[in-house]
Amino acid sequence: MKEQSTPQDNFEQLQADLKQYVKLLTEFVKVEFVEKLTILLSAFIIVSLVIALAFGSLFYLLYALAYTLESLIGSLELAFAIIAGLYLLLIAILVIFRKSLVINPIVRFLSNLFLHKNE
């Protein structure tokens, strides 16, 4: 015949199960944090590398454009001044549209990463 469990036994079992649940939940949060941190760091590294390579390429392309402009306008100094103006224009565009080009994509990426559940 099956033994009758007492309320004391039930409470002790419930307490043990609750401790195990909290332990497993803590482990789950740690694993999920490491996963999201890994995604965040890898995205940061990839974006940093792409930006560095893009700026390097842009530098050499605009340097070549300056020498091409020099043959067209006859002045190397004026060609470099035009290129500097292009850089200033690029900076102005980035500052004017910083919310839509920089801030919103970062906020969207971080909110999707940390607030939405993986399905």
Name the band, by pLDDT with cuts 50, 70 and 90, for residue 115.
Answer: confident
For residue 117, the model assigns a pLDDT of 66
pLDDT digits (tens, 9 = 90+) for 42-72: 999 999 999 999 999 999 999 999 999 999 9
How far CA 8 is from CA of 4, 14, 15, 16, 21, in Å, comes to 11, 10, 10, 12, 20
74: left (phi over 0), alpha (psi -120 to 50) or beta: left
Alpha-helix runs per DSSP H in 7-100: 7-73, 76-96, 98
Distance CA(69)–CA(75), nearest Å, equals 8
pLDDT digits (tens, 9 = 90+) for 4-28: 778 888 888 989 999 999 999 999 9
Are residues 76 and 70 in contact, defined by beta-carbon separation less than 8 angstroms? Answer: yes
Structure pTM? 0.67
Q: Where are the domains of the chain?
A: 7-115
Distance CA(12)–CA(87), nearest Å, equals 71
Name the band, by pLDDT with cuts 50, 70 and 90, for residue 76.
Answer: very high
